[in-house]
Amino acid sequence: MTTVEEKETAREIIRKTRSVCPVCGQWVDGAVVQQGSRVYLERICAEHGEHRLLLSVNAGMYADLERFYFHILGHDAARGRITRYWVLATAKCQAQCAYCSVGVQQPRYDEMTIDDFQKIFREFASLKLTLLGGEPTTHPLVFDFFRGAVEQGRPTELGTNGIRLADPDFCRRLCAAGVNWVRLSVDALTPVQTEFFDTGAQYDAKLRALENLEKQHVVTTLSPTIFRGVNENQLIAAVEYANAHPFIRDLSVNGFSWVGEGVGLPRDLMIMPDEMMDILHQRFSHGPREDLCTLQKWLWIGLRVMDIRICLNTQLMIFVRDPGGPRPITDFLDMAAMKRAVEWWKKLARAPRTLQIAAFLVVCVRSLNWRSRKLIVPLLRMFFSSIARRLRPFPSELISVVLNTNCSLPSADTAVMQQCMCDVLYSKDGALKKEMTSAFFIRGERERLAREGAA
């Protein structure tokens, strides 16, 4: 919708890119543009006209993040290492969520065999393996996967809807098989939040699953899906739930993306990371919104010097666990000093990696004040374990929040897609295949549109 402000404000191109028409799936020229206080990804298809996706309502700050990401960090080309593989073990799922990004009702991959698992352990297990689906607990070999991973010394995680983990015995058996890290998708932490998608039948099961995981001392990631104008308060509820339950170490928040089964829902339910960060700022922060942009740069620099890939459609937040409620890490840092130090670090962005690391540590030290003392030990543990490429849960004193929106036709941006942080592994026609996650999603939607056009 065009506002009065936009009609009276000149359109400024921040960055040109290639994108996709969400109607026909054809690649077209696109651009990230600033108009008034908003930033959009827009593209014009010769056949279907203009399409725009809202990226941010903080035009100046978001444009600054774009420039920092591409021009300072050098993400105009793919760089950094991915940190995990998504293992799509099965397309079966008992939940059948209307917003499922994988699209299990029209599966694009086959059920994995024990031979597939063994090949993954041999060839792809240098990184963390997250067993997904569909719903991986419905796979007949789920216990074999984790036993095999333990035997091979491979780091793994179970990505699940939690329904079967509501059974205490099943949960114990999974833990005995080697599951010690779980990513649990939740669409509601209060009953009223189940009403939009009529998922009340799953609500109690997911809460029982969380209780069972806590009893088994399993490190757990909460993974809610957020829809604009529908359940933004779920993001707040998830942070507060994590604060009260130390077995929850992080949140992996998915902004609804128009992909898979989700194409049956309105596109304007899509919400991008910068919008979700606004929600966190309004609820928890005590400083200006600019502090979170400065924090974003600091965290991106940290990932850069640790050689970890980061996608622009991902933003990061850290909370300090506190009995009085979660507190943003910005409350414990000198953000004005951090801003000055980040500006200084930019001059060394093209320096040798060793010098970049040393300069980043200087930025960290400059950002400390007397309130930072409780953060020093957990932050150092996290930093040096990442430098050494040792997989460790997030320190229990902190809560990591990753805000992400998967690539879909409305958000396709080739400059961003090349920085995808994970690959998917799946079985198709007797062969084990690997593909960048962003490419997997976009290819699937373009194939769907091609089938519909042919029909």
Per-residue pLDDT, averaged over 257-270, amounts to 91
- Asked whether the predicted pLDDT for residue 324 surpasses 90, the reply is yes
Burial status of residue 334 (CB atoms within 10 A of its CB: 0-12, 13-18, 19 or more) = middle
Residue 190 banded pLDDT, cuts 50, 70, 90: confident
SS (H, E, C) 137-164: HHCCCHHHHHHHHHHHCCCEEEEECCCH
Longest Cα–Cα distance of the chain, Å, equals 66
Per-domain residue ranges for the chain?
1-57, 84-405
- Asked whether the predicted pLDDT for residue 245 surpasses 80, the reply is yes
Per-residue pLDDT, averaged over 125-136, amounts to 89
Q: What percent of the chain has pLDDT over 90?
A: 72
Residue 431 banded pLDDT, cuts 50, 70, 90: very high
Distance CA 175, CA 213 (A): 9
pLDDT in tens, 325-346: 999 999 999 999 999 999 999 9
Distance CA 137, CA 218 (A): 16
Q: Name the CATH superfamily, with its identifier, for domain 84-405.
A: Aldolase class I (3.20.20.70)
pLDDT in tens, 18-70: 999 999 999 999 999 999 999 999 999 999 999 999 999 999 999 999 999 99
What global pTM score does this model have? Answer: 0.93
Best CA proximity match to 43, nearest among 20, 15, 13: 20
Mean pLDDT of the chain: 90
| Residue, of 76 and 436, whose pLDDT is higher | 436
Pairing of strands 431-436, 422-428: antiparallel
Residue 317 exposure: Cα atoms within 13 Å on the Cβ side: 31
Here the tokens at position 194 are 């189940």
pLDDT in tens, 346-389: 999 999 989 999 999 999 999 999 998 888 887 777 766 665 55
Return all residues near 389 (Cβ < 8 A) that are at least 6 apart: none
Res 98: pLDDT = 81
Residue type, position 219, single letter: V
Q: What percent of the chain has pLDDT over 70?
A: 93
Res 198: pLDDT = 64
pLDDT in tens, 69-116: 999 998 777 788 888 999 999 999 888 788 888 776 677 899 999 999
Here the tokens at position 132 are 């997904």
User: Residue 231 in contact with residue 196, Cβ under 8 Å?
Assistant: yes
Res 277: pLDDT = 97
Res 1: pLDDT = 46
